[in-house]
Amino acid sequence: MAQYRGRFAPSATGPLHLGSILAALVSYIHAKQHHGEWLIRIDDLDEKRCKQIHVDSILECLDAFGFRPSGSVCRQTDRITDYQNALVSLDNQRRLYPCTCTRKSLLKGPYPGFCRHQIGQTLIAESAVRIDTSDMDLTVDDLIATSSIIQPPGDFIVKRRDGLFAYQLACAVDEQIDGITHVIRGIDLLDSTPMQRFITQCLGYESPTYGHFPVLVGADGAKLSKQTFAEPVDWTRPGETFAVIARLLLLNDTPRPTDHAHVWLDFFVSLDNLIPKLIKASHANTLSL
């Protein structure tokens, strides 16, 4: 197995936007600077929200931005059997239970464990499945994020009432199948990490190392507007998007916006102060212009 295997795992719910390109870029730079491999995985479990047209646009866009994966692109929908096997294994450990609580009966915040007494009961298709988290560890050792308070998630759902495997379970199984050693992603996913690591540990997998980089903020210190952030990037002009990112990262001596995507990628990978910069910015959990 490679010493380092990273990944970018976009959801196939829409075209890539600035934040997704940043996530692809940071994970890519980190992998390349460690002479590692870098993979693309399509998160497409939610069949109502995920569309083939988005998968095509995401892959086309990543290609236009010069991101070449080290192996073939995989999709979560090809791994249902693997997720099912993981579920059975967790159930055999008597960690799972069917939850029949209605959304209305639950307040916001961690699930209070109303149905925990049902541990070991047959998991029927019509109810959600939760995992007993009483021995879950909430501390996160992070390569990038510094201080972060993680809210306990309570007994979280591993399989939804509608039959879909939850992202937390799928993601933990994916990292194992793909041999991922490093998960570098945005701080918005930090809360997911203890849940994924918990499943990893329960299943006896080796845990990847995690690094969560800060979110972007605009010049005035306010978060980039949802509009700007959610707008699809123009994949016919990757240099323009890379130039915006370079500006957000306060980088000098950048290539020109008209330069080829690979010139930009080589430039980013050559910067050995970029990850330290992200770590520094993590104190505020944001990255300012």
Q: Which does 123 bind (CB under 5 to 8 A by kind): ligand GLU, Zn ion, none?
A: none
Q: Which of 2, 55, 64, 101 binds Zn ion (CB under 5 A)?
A: 101
| Cβ at position 16, least distance to ligand GLU in Å | 10
- φ/ψ of 166, rounded to 5, equals -75, 150
Among 86-94, 112-120, 224-232, 246-254, the segment contacting Zn ion (CB under 5 A): 112-120
Residue among 41 and 130 whose Cβ is closer to ligand GLU:
41
| Cβ at position 170, least distance to ligand GLU in Å | 10
**Contact residues: ligand GLU, CB under 6 A:** 9-11, 43, 171, 185, 189
Q: Which does 99 bind (CB under 5 to 8 A by kind): Zn ion, ligand GLU, none?
A: Zn ion
| Cβ at position 118, least distance to Zn ion in Å | 8
Q: Which does 101 bind (CB under 5 to 8 A by kind): Zn ion, ligand GLU, none?
A: Zn ion
Which residue has the CB atom at the shortest distance from ligand GLU?
Answer: 43
Binding of residue 106 to Zn ion (CB under 5 A):
no
Binding of residue 166 to Zn ion (CB under 5 A):
no
| Cβ at position 179, least distance to ligand GLU in Å | 16
* Number of residues forming the site for Zn ion (CB under 5 A): 4
CA angle 105, 160, 97 (to 5 degrees): 75
Residue among 42 and 115 whose Cβ is closer to ligand GLU:
42
| Cβ at position 11, least distance to ligand GLU in Å | 4
Q: Which does 208 bind (CB under 5 to 8 A by kind): ligand GLU, Zn ion, none?
A: none
| Cβ at position 124, least distance to ligand GLU in Å | 28
Three-state SS letters, the chain: CCCCEEEECCECCCCCEHHHHHHHHHHHHHHHHCCCEEEEEEECCCCCCCCHHHHHHHHHHHHHCCCCCCCCCEEHHHHHHHHHHHHHHHHHCCCEEEECCCHHHCCCCCECCCCHHHCCCCCCCCCEEEECCCCCCCCCCECCCCCCCCCCCECCEEECCCCCECHHHHHHHHHHHHCCCEEEEEHHHCCHHHHHHHHHHHCCCCCCEEEEECEEECCCCCECCHHHHHCECCCCCHHHHHHHHHHHCCCCCCCCCCCCHHHHHHHHHHCCCHHHHHHHHHHHCEECC
Q: Which residues bind Zn ion (CB under 5 A)?
A: 99, 101, 114-115
